[in-house]
Amino acid sequence: MDTFREKIKALRIKKGWAQEDLAREIDVSLSTVQRWEGKGAKPTRHARRALDRLWHEVGIDSD
């Protein structure tokens, strides 16, 4: 996966989650997830650690 946006979307698809589900899982707002996927905004350190854990669970490289 090339971009952060693509990895976020791939994670959601593999988990079968909507954006709302991901937001709830890592304790961020829906608009935050939408910005990550849409505008390519970057997560906070706390959110990044949660995403790294989830990516690891589904077999997506976090780099």
Closest-CA residue to 4 (of 32, 45, 53, 39): 39
Residue 40: predicted pLDDT: 79
Q: Is residue 63 part of a domain?
A: no
CATH code, 34: 1.10.260.40
Q: What is the CA radius of gyration of the chain?
A: 10
Residue 49: predicted pLDDT: 94
| Each residue's pLDDT tens digit, 1-33 | 568 899 999 999 999 999 999 999 999 999 999
What's the number of domains the chain is made of?
1
Residue 21: predicted pLDDT: 97
Q: Is residue 23 part of a domain?
A: yes
Residue 1: predicted pLDDT: 53
Whether residue 11 contacts residue 54, with contact meaning beta carbons closer than 8 Å, is answered with: yes
Average pLDDT over residues 28-50: 93
